[in-house]
Chain A
């Protein structure tokens, strides 16, 4: 199974400041079709997860442009340019290149300092 490793696991951020979360996979996430299947999810307190980013860098509809995804192969990053109060929650990366199983990172808790 592909192991997804996120860092940091806890990220205190000042409002208006940037934030960055790293996600590393134990194998390359490039699929046979040439796409890289790495997604990012946000889970606000008390809510279901919501997909923010798919295929490394594509934002879902309605996701603010302060969120961006980047990376390739086994190394990926989610960046928030200026953290707002509504961004508090847990962020997960997930791979969809080598399935089953689909595997998630441990989650990174973003909180306001």
Chain B
């Protein structure tokens, strides 16, 4: 089955860190750029980050630049998002999304609260 499965979400205190993972299966992971998109509770969709096929070119939304790092391991078919200096505004469901936005994972919830 073709799918993306996120993990690593949870409750973290302000200023803390978290690493999200996204496991891909059913397609040639290394052939696709991959995005992270987030959705705060009751809010719309916000693009967060994107990485190209070989992991050499990351892009970030201004709101996360300098705090988040996207990476991938094509041998493990896995995408990562290292999130540092988290604030309450980062509270959201984080979706892993295939390059042309044609496939979305189920998301993982990140809650930043003391």
Please list the residues of chain A having a beta carbon within 8 angstroms of any beta carbon in chain B. 39, 41, 48-51, 54, 60, 90, 92, 94, 96, 99-107
Contacts and interface: CB of A to CB of B under 8 A. Distances in A.
B98 to A, nearest CB: 10
Interface string B31-67: 0000101000000111100100000000111100000
A90 B61 CA distance: 23
A101 B102 CA distance: 17
A26 B82 CA distance: 32
Contacts, number: 51
A100 B50 CA distance: 9
A48 B59 contact: no
A48 B50 contact: no
A101 to B, nearest CB: 5
B101 A41 contact: yes
A54 B102 contact: yes
Closest CB pairs A-B (n = 3)? A100-B59, A102-B47, A48-B104
Given A48-B95, A99-B59, A104 B107 contact: no
Contacts of B101: 39, 41, 51, 54, 94, 96, 102
B44 A48 contact: no
A48 B93 CA distance: 10
Interface string B79-100: 0000000000000000100001
A49 B104 contact: yes
B59 A104 contact: no
B9 interface: no
B102 A104 contact: no
Contacts of A102: 35, 47, 50, 101
20 contacts: A39-B101, A41-B45, A48-B104, A48-B107, A49-B37, A49-B104, A50-B104, A51-B101, A54-B102, A60-B102, A92-B45, A94-B45, A94-B101, A99-B59, A102-B50, A102-B101, A103-B47, A104-B44, A104-B45, A104-B46
A107 to B, nearest CB: 5
